[in-house]
Amino acid sequence: MNESLAITRFLNEAGETSHFIARFFRQWFKPRFELSEFTRQCFVIGYKSLPLVGLTAFIMGLVLTMQLRPSMIDYGVESQLPAIVGIAIVREIGPVITALIFAGKIGSSIGAELGSMKVTEQIDAMEVSGTNPFKYLVVTRVLAATLMLPVLVLLGDAISLYGSYLGVNIRGNTSFVFFWKQVLDNLSFSDVLPAFIKSFFFGFAVGIIGCYKGYNSSKGTEGVGRSANSAVVISSVLVFILDLIAVQVTDLLNLY
């Protein structure tokens, strides 16, 4: 009984989310694109998450390198350390960690912002002021999140690799140029491209879930908190699910 209720609720939610996504695409292509609000959101979304993304990326690169070193020495392939770390970061760790940080930072803030605008009737106020709130609030934020996450991922990858370079040099002695040469020699276009493409999807997922949760927030301050919270939880899980799908797709297409 309880399970069937949970399943019904899940299906309902999934249905409504798809509805919301369809509405997003319909509204996106309607004329009068909100350009200034879109650029503002790009700045806010990208800039706000940059320090956090940079910090976590740096630590991940450094720690990963230090953790891998003993095993690499055991197998006698210590010199391959930059190559291995490079592949791990670019293919998987960079996009996923960045997307998770992004979900925590941006997903929650979009959810809370739109949620409180909803419950205090600010969204209604926009509508009576000659503004289509869906275009003005949702379309701009979702597009900004979709475009900004890949940029953050690229930056995060670079910072991560710098962290890794420092990690290599704690015990060894590798020149900066040699380190980068080793990383780039072992990376091919087919490593970078799928990772780059999937980060667009991660960004879209974070943006659309944050907006969906905020826009459909229930009345009261409790509802706002709940939207922010579930925006983070659902978009984080979605990042992993999309990652799973992405690896299957690249595998099928024989991209690796």
Partner 1 sequence: MTLIYDINKQQAVVNKNTDDTTETVLSIRHLYKSFKENHVLVDFNLDVSKGETVVVLGKSGSGKSVLIKCIIGLLQPDKGDIELFGKSITGINETELDKIRAKTGFLFQSNALYDSMTVRQNLEFPLRRHWIKVSQQQVNDMVMESLEDVGLAHTVNMMPAELSGGMRKRIALARTLILKPEIILYDEPTTGLDPITGKEIIGLMMEIQQKYNTTSIIISHDMNCVRTAGNRIVILVDGMCYACGNFEQLLKNTDPKVKQFFEGI
Binding site for partner 1 (CB under 8 A): 113, 116-117, 120-122, 124-132
CA trace torsion 72, 77, 81, 83 (10° rounding): -130
- CB 119, min distance to partner 1, A: 8
Q: Which is nearer to partner 1, 125 or 249 (CB)?
A: 125
Residue (136 or 162) nearer to partner 1, CB: 136
**Which residue number, 58 or 215, has a Cβ lying nearer to partner 1?**
215
Least Å from the CB of residue 132 to partner 1: 7
Closer residue to partner 1 (CB): 87 or 126: 126
In the complex, least distance from residue 126 CB atom to partner 1, rounded to whole angstroms: 8
Instruction: Please name which of 74, 85, 48, 61 lies closest in space to residue 206, comparing C-alpha atoms.
Output: 48
Closer CB to partner 1, residue 186 or residue 225?
225
> Tokens in use for 210?
């944050």
Assigned token pair, 219:
């009345």
Report how far Cα 123 is from the mean position of its chain's Cα atoms: 26
Q: Report the alpha-carbon distance of residue 129 to residue 154 in Å, rounded.
A: 39
Least distance (Å) between residue 72 CB and partner 1 = 50
CA 81/CA 163 separation, integer angstroms: 13
CB of 149 to partner 1, least distance (A): 22
CA distance 126 to 130: 7
